[in-house]
Amino acid sequence: MSNDKIIWDKLIAAGLTPAGAAGLLGNLYAESGLNPQNLQNTYEAKLGFTDATYTAAVDNGTYTNFAKDCAGYGIAQWTYSTRKAALLAYAKGQGRSIGDLDMQVGYLLQELQSLFRSVWDKLCTTTSVREASDCVLLQFERPANQSTENCARRAAIAQEFYDRFTGGNTMNFIMTAAALCAKALDIARNYMTSYMLGPWGWPATDKMITRATTNGSNAQTNKQWLAKANAIKGKGFLFDCVGLIKGILWGWIGDLSRTYGGAGYACNGVPDYDAKKMIDCCREVSTDFSRIVPGEAVWMDGHIGIYVGGGVVVESTPKWQGGVQCSTLANTAGSQKLPGTVGSRTWTKHGKLPWVDYTAAKEINEEDDDMQTYEQWKEYMDRYRQELRADHDQCWAESELAAAVAAGITNGARPHDLVTREEAAIMALRGMQHKE
């Protein structure tokens, strides 16, 4: 678990509100990068130590001026002699290294409750990230730079942590398979999206597009999809394949004003896994697709999607139209793509996600095959006809239709609708009579 998540969990467990925890965490990050062995950079050359050698020398007793050397140290960059002396005493009392993260968080909480009670009370009651951040900066950390600009900068860092770890008030600690499918379909049908490696529903803003194309190991690869991302800038969201699953389970709500679209990060008990780890942790993983149920993950090497029923998968992919799309599960529906899907794909295996409740998911069996297939077929055909009506260019047989109307075979109404057997029989007879 990363240092930020460890600290966050301990702050929340201690009674801080999410806003209070974020405000404190943002300031700690600004002070030390959340490195518990961090020695103030300007003192490294002066004292002749690195982070590691300073920590070791204090621990083994070869350096005895820890409390009085005025060098900032640890996640909060403790500097004043009395506070550093108390930190050292606390570490020795617990038999821990001076650079131990758990020990430092414990001391931090004790210090807040005993010496900075007004700050503590604020962090346990506030619902404002900015209020919490300013309180920590001005009353607890008290750095040399207390400018409005620095207050805003630290508050922005704090907001990042808040967005990452909370996901707002829409968090679901376990999601039903039906809810997972509904959200996936909603994203595919109603949101502008672009594929990029890494994001889990990031708003397509200048900041987040730049982040995806300049930071991390995927940055260079992501540049090939920059044009699509820029095309939906300010209007859509960025997802990769496993990011679609994680974003939904982390509480994504499609909020363009939120750092991650309203999602948290590694929350709701769902870890930050890649596609391979995601399928590996699934239950009842199988290569037999005959009994797959909606809400299961479908996987192939390097890629993952969500089966939503009716032979349809929702996946985020650079293929076809690029972004979150509906595709046909060729394993059950065949290679011919279903109406309302952009293409067909054969997957390797499927499994039940451990953070999803499948108790209400309907298993496919011989008794309900026909009914389920018909209802799902009808749903997709209805949507298919609606799409055709909305696209006037799809009227590809205008002259033939006009000739049939002139011959009295049909009245020309509902040109894109399906015909019943009765209607087909009547038109066939009229056609035969016309020919005679």
pLDDT band, very low/low/confident/very high, at 243 (cuts 50, 70, 90): very high
Task: Look at residue 423 in the predicted model and tell me its pLDDT.
Answer: 72
Instruction: Report pLDDT digits (tens) over 19-30.
Output: 899 999 999 999
Q: Is the pLDDT of residue 366 over 60?
A: no
Please determine, for residue 413, whether its predicted confidence score (pLDDT) is greater than 80: no
Q: Number of C-alpha atoms within 13 angstroms, CB side, residue 379?
A: 11
Contact 408, 430 (CB under 8 A): yes
DSSP code of 109? H
Cα distance between residue 358 and residue 350, in whole Å: 14
Residue 384 has pLDDT above 80, yes or no: no
H-type alpha helices, 124-283: 129-136, 148-166, 177-190, 206-214, 219-222, 226-231, 241-249, 275-280
At 349 the three-state DSSP class reads strand
In this prediction, residue 172 carries a pLDDT of: 46
Closest alpha carbon to 378 in 425, 292, 310: 310
Helix (H, G, I), strand (E, B) or coil at 395: coil
Tell which residue, 22, 9, 36, 13, has the closest CA to residue 134.
22
3 state SS of 264 = coil
Poorest-confidence range of 45-54, 158-167, 215-224?
158-167
**pLDDT of amino acid 362:** 61
Tokens of residue 171, six digits: 């968090």
CATH 1.10.530.10 fits 3-164, yes or no: yes
Please give the model's pTM, rounded to 2 decimal places: 0.56
Which part of the chain is CATH 1.10.530.10? Answer: 3-164
pLDDT tens for each residue of 76-113: 999 999 999 999 999 999 999 999 999 999 999 999 99
Q: Tell me the pLDDT tens digit for each residue of 183-242.
A: 999 999 999 999 999 999 999 999 999 999 998 889 999 999 999 999 999 999 999 999
Weakest mean pLDDT among 52-66, 117-131, 373-387, 418-432? 373-387
Burial class of residue 366, CB neighbours in 10 A (0-12, 13-18, 19+) = exposed
pLDDT at 418 over 80: no
Burial 22-43 (b: 16+ CB within 10 A, else e): bbbbbbbbbbbebbbbbbbeeb
Lowest mean pLDDT across 89-103, 235-249, 265-279, 318-332:
265-279
